[in-house]
Structures are given as structure tokens and as C-alpha cells.
């Protein structure tokens, strides 16, 4: 295994101040690349995310036949293959690196095309469950093999038949995979999820000329998405907002550090992504939503966060889907809030880039926080005034998980003894300049 770069981050008693446009949205950028690659014509992606996950997905679609027409820091222009025009990469392999979104959405995009491809990833992605997408794709007629449920996932695509698929988990990755396969299938595909997961695909596909319908059962919360097969995608222009999941780290850091006053422009306000904002406000955080507007179909706003003592959180299973990537940093906020915070329904955290539930509890305990996992993948975090004030920094295990690395860095700013991050470069998956950007706000 290669040597990891480590770092110690310590409280410096300075608030966060200033304006920061956090990196662009990872979910939206990857969708724009995949849909643009499938579309006929030239798609322009303005302000795409420049990070390892986004690069992996861009390289994947290029290896499937999309053409990179031009590229600058702030724009990617891509000529799609149109129709069922994907061609198998030279060796039949795609390396999705760390990106679960890339892998699962590509599975759906490839399943309807007459090519055979094997998708794998890095050590972390190769441990993640893939039967959740393999099952519906097999139901539609694709030949799909996994290695005991994990990558590599081999897809032998072809003529697909529509399906009505009831996903056991509310997952935008499963939903988007089924919708992309459904687009290429004969008949009308229906995807049913227990609760509405982020709907970036449903919002973006119409910009590519695709018609679909969503119906939410207001009593049960169940969401149905209906898509007619045989529709073609037509190229378009996408403007990518700032990523609310990246904004989350600054929202929590600014809330926790007394005297902070930070503005984050252009943050995505998709209702499937605003769970953390709502939870922090319920905890008494001072977050103003300014200049609410739209980028295409996606709502965005500028957020102003001022430091304020937080109260405990009470997170129910139904809340988790709208902040699934933000729970680790919310657990940190809970550690420094007044009172005991209760989290329920965190099972999905165990199958992210790492087992985020287990690692967060271990890392917080090492930092002196009284917390534990409770039944059915819940957690209790007993807040206190400060992270442990020993002479030695406490160890924070990252396991190549970008969100754990960034949560650890924010924890460091709240820790008099400091936090020792065992892999600081993991941030590159979604925010390569995170450490520098954070430092710039603390000046």
C-alpha cells in the first residue's frame, strides 16, 4: 500500500470569515457527463466539479466513445454518441476509481447498449454493494455479474424490457441507474422508492429532452418515477451549482467557531440535499438563505452562516435520505452541541466510501466524545464544550473517505490538542483544495 500523507490540525482560536464559492456539485457534474455522453450533439457543462470522482466519470464516458471537444477550468464541452452509440473501451474495462455514483449510473447507461464492459474501482469502491443495481438490470434482461455482490461488475448489455422495480432502499444511484436503463428499454419503466431521494436525474433529463413523471404518495412518502423507453437524449447546456455536501463542512465549522461569519454563494438547494441545513437550523444555528434562484431546474441560494452555540439534534430515519452524506459532519456538530443528540436509521452510512457510522463513532470517541452506536444502526452523541484537551492530538481514521477527512479537519479546528488525520489527500475525491480553502477562511 502506498504511503499516505498525514496532517495535524489544531484549534487556532480564529473564527471563519469571508466568502467562499465551494466546489461544484458532484452528483450534478457526473450526471451531466453521463447524460451528455449518451446524447446526440454537443453538451456544454459550465462550472463542472474538478475533482477525482468527476475526472473518473469523464474518463469513463470518453472511453465509451464520447468526444471531449474542449475543456477549461470552468467548462467541459462533450460530444455525445447519440442513440445506442456507446462502444466498448479497448480492454473492455472501466476504472471508476472511488466513485459509486459513476459506477452505478454507468451500469444503467451501458445495460441498454450492445456492449460488454467490466467496471471496477479502488479499494474502497471494490468493497461496496453492487447487487442493488445488478438486480433490477437483470430483471430488465441484461446479463450482469458481480464478485460476491461487489465490483468488478460485468455488464453484457442488450435489448432491455421495461420493469416496475420497487427499490428496498431510497437511493438516487439505484433510481438513476434504473431510469437510464428504462430510457433504453421497450415499454414503460416504473421505479418506486420508499422515500424520495435526491432528484437530480429527474430534474436534468428533461433538459436533455426526456419526458418523465414523478408521483409522491403524501401519506406513505413513497415516490414513483415513470419513464417511457425509446426516448433519445438531445445535447444541452448545464450550469452546475456549488455542492451542498461540500458546503456542509463550512456550515458546521462556521457554526461551531465563535465569531464566524461566512457567505457561501450558489449552493444547491435541491430538497433532497437540504437535510443538514434544516437540522442545523433546528439546532439553533444562524443560517440565512439569501438570493434564492434557479440554475436550470435546480434551486440555488447564497448561505450566510454565523457562529452560534448549537443545541442537540434529533434525527429520525426519514430525515437521513436528505442528508445522507452530511451525517458525519452533523455528528461532529452534535459533539459540541448542548445536550444529547439522537440519530436513527443510519444503516446506509455503513455502505458508503467507508463504514461511516463505525468510523465516526471511533473517531469521536478518540477525540474524547461520549458516543455510541445504538440499536438498528442508530447513534447517541453526548455533546460537550470542547473536544479532548490532552497534550497529544487524537487519531482520526479516514480510510480513504473524503468526507471523513474533511470532517476530521473541521474537528481539528475545534480541538485544543489537535486531530491527527491519517490520510489528508482523500479530500481530492470531491474537494482537492479543501485544506487551503479552509485555511484561507481562518485568516
Q: Quick check: 29 binds ligand S3P (CB under 6 A)? A: no
What is the closest distance, in whole angstroms, from the C-beta atom of residue 273 to ligand S3P in the complex?
A: 10
Tell me, residue by residue from 280 to 319, as one string, x for binding to ligand S3P by CB under 6 A and - for no binding. ----------------------------------------
Tell me, residue by residue from 174 to 193, as one string, x for binding to ligand S3P by CB under 6 A and - for no binding. --x-----------------
Instruction: Out of 7, 9, 15, 27, name the contact with ligand S3P by CB under 6 A.
Output: 27
By C-beta, is 88 or 324 nearer to ligand S3P?
324
Report the side by side order of strands in the sheet with 164-166.
Answer: 164-166, 188-193, 223-228, 212-216
Window 215 to 274, contacts with ligand S3P (CB under 6 A): none
By C-beta, is 201 or 415 nearer to ligand S3P?
201
What is the closest distance, in whole angstroms, from the C-beta atom of residue 272 to ligand S3P in the complex?
A: 9
Alpha-carbon distance of 24 to 50, in angstroms, equals: 8
By C-beta, is 24 or 197 nearer to ligand S3P?
197
* Catalytic residue ranges: 325
Instruction: Out of 172, 285, 300, 301, name the contact with ligand S3P by CB under 6 A.
Output: 172
Alpha-carbon distance of 341 to 244, in angstroms, equals: 22
Instruction: Out of 47, 173, 207, 322, name the contact with ligand S3P by CB under 6 A.
Output: 173
Query: Residues in contact with ligand S3P, total (CB under 6 A)?
Result: 11
Between strands 116-120 and 150-156, the pairing is antiparallel
Between strands 419-421 and 7-9, the pairing is antiparallel
What is the closest distance, in whole angstroms, from the C-beta atom of residue 30 to ligand S3P in the complex?
A: 6
What is the closest distance, in whole angstroms, from the C-beta atom of residue 59 to ligand S3P in the complex?
A: 18
By C-beta, is 172 or 361 nearer to ligand S3P?
172
Alpha-carbon distance of 277 to 289, in angstroms, equals: 10
HEC sequence for the chain: CCCCCCEEECCCCCCCEEECCCCECHHHHHHHHHHHHHCEEEEEEECCCCCHHHHHHHHHHHHCCCEEEEEECCEEEEEEECCCCCCCCCCCEEECCCCHHHHHHHHHHHHCCCCEEEEECCCCHHHCCCHHHHHHHHHCCCEEEEECCEEEEEEECCCEECCEEECCCCCHHHHHHHHHHHHCEECEEEEEECCCCCCHHHHHHHHHCCCEEEEECCCCCCEEEEEECCCCCECCEEECCECHHHHHHHHHHHHHCCCCEEEEEEEECCHHHCHHHHHHHHCCCEEEEEEEEEECCEEEEEEEEECCCCECCEECHHHHHHHCCCHHHHHHHHHCCECEEEECCCHHHHHCCCCHHHHHHHHHHHCCCEEEEECCCEEEEECCCCCCCCCCCEEECCCCCHHHHHHHHHHHHCCCCCEEECCHHHHHHCCCCHHHHHHHHCC
What is the closest distance, in whole angstroms, from the C-beta atom of residue 349 to ligand S3P in the complex?
A: 9
Strand partners, 80: 41
Tell me, residue by residue from 86 to 125, as one string, x for binding to ligand S3P by CB under 6 A and - for no binding. ---------------x------------------------
What is the closest distance, in whole angstroms, from the C-beta atom of residue 27 to ligand S3P in the complex?
A: 3
Pick the piece of the chain touching ligand S3P (CB under 6 A) from 166-174, 213-221, 357-365, 392-400: 166-174
Pick the piece of the chain touching ligand S3P (CB under 6 A) from 68-76, 88-96, 119-127, 168-176: 168-176
Instruction: Out of 51, 184, 197, 255, name the contact with ligand S3P by CB under 6 A.
Output: 197
Instruction: Out of 324, 327, 331, 371, name the contact with ligand S3P by CB under 6 A.
Output: 324
Instruction: Out of 199, 202, 344, 348, name the contact with ligand S3P by CB under 6 A.
Output: 348
What is the closest distance, in whole angstroms, from the C-beta atom of residue 405 to ligand S3P in the complex?
A: 15
Q: Quick check: 39 binds ligand S3P (CB under 6 A)? A: no
Q: Quick check: 325 binds ligand S3P (CB under 6 A)? A: yes
By C-beta, is 65 or 244 nearer to ligand S3P?
244
What is the closest distance, in whole angstroms, from the C-beta atom of residue 210 to ligand S3P in the complex?
A: 17
Q: Quick check: 171 binds ligand S3P (CB under 6 A)? A: yes
Q: Quick check: 405 binds ligand S3P (CB under 6 A)? A: no
Q: Cα-Cα-Cα-Cα dihedral of 318, 319, 325, 330, to 10°?
A: -140
Which residues would be at the binding site for ligand S3P (CB under 6 A)? Answer: 27, 101, 171-173, 176, 197-198, 324-325, 348
Amino acid at each position: 500500500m502506498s504511503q499516505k500523507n498525514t496532517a495535524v490540525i489544531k484549534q487556532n482560536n480564529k473564527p471563519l470569515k469571508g466568502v467562499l464559492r465551494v466546489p461544484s456539485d458532484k452528483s450534478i457534474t457526473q450526471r451531466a457527463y453521463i447524460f451528455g455522453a449518451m446524447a446526440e450533439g454537443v453538451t456544454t457543462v459550465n462550472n463542472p466539479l474538478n475533482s477525482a470522482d468527476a475526472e473518473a466519470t469523464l474518463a469513463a464516458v470518453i472511453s465509451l466513445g464520447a468526444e471531449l471537444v474542449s475543456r477549461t477550468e470552468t467548462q467541459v464541452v462533450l460530444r455525445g454518441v447519440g442513440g445506442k452509440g456507446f462502444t466498448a473501451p479497448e480492454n473492455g474495462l472501466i476504472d471508476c476509481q472511488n466513485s459509486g455514483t459513476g459506477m452505478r449510473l454507468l451500469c444503467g447507461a451501458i445495460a441498454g447498449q450492445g456492449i460488454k464492459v467490466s467496471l471496477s474501482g479502488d479499494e474502497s469502491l471494490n468493497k461496496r454493494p453492487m447487487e442493488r443495481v445488478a438486480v433490477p438490470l437483470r430483471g430488465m434482461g441484461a446479463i450482469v455479474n458481480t464478485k460476491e455482490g461487489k465490483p468488478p461488475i460485468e455488464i453484457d448489455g442488450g435489448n432491455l424490457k421495461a420493469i416496475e422495480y420497487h427499490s428496498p432502499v431510497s437511493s438516487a444511484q439505484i433510481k438513476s441507474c434504473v431510469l437510464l436503463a428504462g430510457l433504453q428499454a421497450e415499454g414503460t419503466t416504473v421505479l418506486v422508492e420508499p422515500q424520495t431521494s435526491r432528484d437530480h436525474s429527474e430534474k436534468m433529463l428533461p433538459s436533455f429532452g426526456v419526458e418523465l413523471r414523478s408521483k409522491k404518495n403524501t401519506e406513505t412518502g413513497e415516490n414513483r418515477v415513470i419513464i417511457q423507453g425509446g426516448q433519445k437524449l438531445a445535447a444541452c447546456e448545464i450550469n452546475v451549482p456549488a455542492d451542498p455536501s461540500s458546503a456542509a463542512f463550512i456550515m458546521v465549522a462556521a457554526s461551531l467557531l465563535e465569531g464566524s461569519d461566512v457567505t457561501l454563494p450558489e449552493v444547491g438547494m435541491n430538497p433532497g440535499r437540504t437535510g443538514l441545513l434544516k437540522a442545523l437550523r433546528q439546532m439553533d444555528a444562524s443560517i440565512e438563505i439569501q438570493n434564492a434562484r434557479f440554475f436550470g431546474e435546480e434551486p440555488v441560494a447564497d448561505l450566510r452562516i454565523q457562529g452560534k452555540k448549537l443545541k442537540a439534534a434529533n434525527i429520525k430515519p426519514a430525515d437521513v435520505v436528505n442528508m445522507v452524506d452530511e451525517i458525519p459532519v452533523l455528528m461532529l456538530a452534535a459533539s459540541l452541541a448542548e445536550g444529547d443528540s439522537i440519530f436513527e436509521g443510519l444503516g446506509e452510512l455503513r455502505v458508503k466510501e467507508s463504514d461511516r457510522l463505525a468510523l465516526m463513532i471511533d473517531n469521536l470517541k478518540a477525540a474524547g466524545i461520549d458516543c455510541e452506536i445504538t440499536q438498528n444502526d442508530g447513534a447517541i452523541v453526548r455533546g460537550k464544550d470542547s473536544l479532548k484537551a490532552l497534550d497529544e492530538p487524537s487519531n482520526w481514521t479516514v480510510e480513504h473517505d473524503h468526507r471523513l477527512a474533511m470532517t476530521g479537519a473541521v474537528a481539528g479546528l475545534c480541538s485544543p490538542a489537535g486531530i491527527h488525520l491519517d490520510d489528508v489527500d482523500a479530500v481530492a475525491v470531491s474537494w482537492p483544495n479543501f485544506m487551503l480553502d479552509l485555511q484561507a477562511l481562518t485568516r
